[in-house]
Amino acid sequence: MRVLISHASAHGSTREIAQRIAAVLEQEGLTVDVLPLSRLGVPDGYDAAVLSSAIHQQSWLPEAMAFVQRQANELVARPVWLFSVGMSASLPRALRTSASRAQDRRLAGTLRDLVRPRGHRL
């Protein structure tokens, strides 16, 4: 199985997480390509995709959202998982859970209609 793991990373953290996920999947015997969303054209030739972005101002980075919108028809034809990297985990404990849930609902809701992901993690 050939898996695409693609990322939009502002400072490198999202890229690093994508590379770690790829290493785990490769240990399971999958063929994995890790590419920045900004350099990716049509995602054909992949059996599954994991898309990710840093979160700035409660949204995925513009290049990530543009890619998902542009390639929605290609993406919906295969299993897709999403992950987002944001700062809600660094908030005070009293705010962390509700902020994380709200952020997850907003992001997953926006992306769910476009690519019907099998899962989203923050």
Handedness of CA 36, 38, 41, 42 (dihedral sign): positive
Contact 26/65 with Cβ under 8 angstroms? no
Task: Look at residue 67 in the predicted model and tell me its pLDDT.
Answer: 92
Percentage of the chain exceeding pLDDT 90: 51
Q: Enter the pTM of the model.
A: 0.86
Higher pLDDT among residues 95 and 22, named by residue = 22
Tokens of 28: 């399971």
Task: Look at residue 114 in the predicted model and tell me its pLDDT.
Answer: 86
Higher pLDDT among residues 16 and 57, named by residue = 16
Strands 59-60 and 80-85: unpaired
25-64 residue pLDDT tens: 999 999 999 999 988 888 889 999 999 999 887 788 999 9
Instruction: Show Cβ contacts of residue 28 under 8 Å, excluding neighbours closer than 6 positions.
Output: none
Residue ranges covered by each domain of the chain: 2-121
Task: Look at residue 108 in the predicted model and tell me its pLDDT.
Answer: 65
CATH number of 2-121: 3.40.50.360, 3.40.1390.10, 1.10.10.10, 1.10.287.610? 3.40.50.360
DSSP state of 45: T
